[in-house]
Amino acid sequence: MNLIPKETLNLNEDLDYEISAIRPEDVKIDDTGSIEGKITSIQFLGSEIMYYVDIGNFSVKVKGGKYEDAYKEGDSVKLVFDLNNMNFYKSGKRVLPVSVPE
């Protein structure tokens, strides 16, 4: 789970929160993304790859696809966060309900 402080990355301007939480599979490396980062580490997990992407002073875990589609350490990438699968917390309590896909 990625637990991201609001001061590191504010993903919801309209919400009063302290921490956002998102699973690595809900963060994608995609050229259309608006959040830029650099791959600092790669962990091979058999059929999947876990990327650790530095977005300033914070590292985000991103679950990738197959080995042959792999990026390399040092690659600059753009990230897209699935906000429908993200939770926001303040003082340890969720401030936005989880969106359930239909």
pLDDT at 100 over 70: no
pLDDT score recorded for residue 47: 80
Quote the Cα angle for 13-29-48, to 5°.
125
Query: 53-78, pLDDT tens digit by residue?
Result: 999 889 999 998 766 567 999 999 99
Query: 4-49, pLDDT tens digit by residue?
Result: 999 988 888 888 899 999 999 999 999 999 999 999 999 988 888 9
Report residue 90: phi and psi, to 5°. -140, 130
